[in-house]
Structure 1
Amino acid sequence: MVVDEWNDETVDRLFHALADTTRRDILRRCVRGKLSVSRLAEAYPMSFAAVQKHVAVLERAGLVSKQRSGREQLVRTDPDAVGRARQALDELESAWRGRVDRMVRLLAEDPGTEEPEEPGTEENNAPEGPQR
Structure 2
Amino acid sequence: MTVDLSVSGPVVEFSAPIDRGAAGLARDFVRKTLADLGYAGDHSDVVLVVSELVSNALRHTTTIPVIRLAGDVHRLRIEVADGSPVLPRLSATVGGWGMQLISRLTNAWGAVPDRGGKVVWCEMSAEALPGTL
For the pair shown, the structure with the greater C-alpha radius of gyration is 1
Q: Given the two structures, how large is their TM-score scaled by the length of structure 2? A: 0.29
1 or 2, which has the higher helix percentage? 1
1 or 2, which has the higher strand percentage? 2
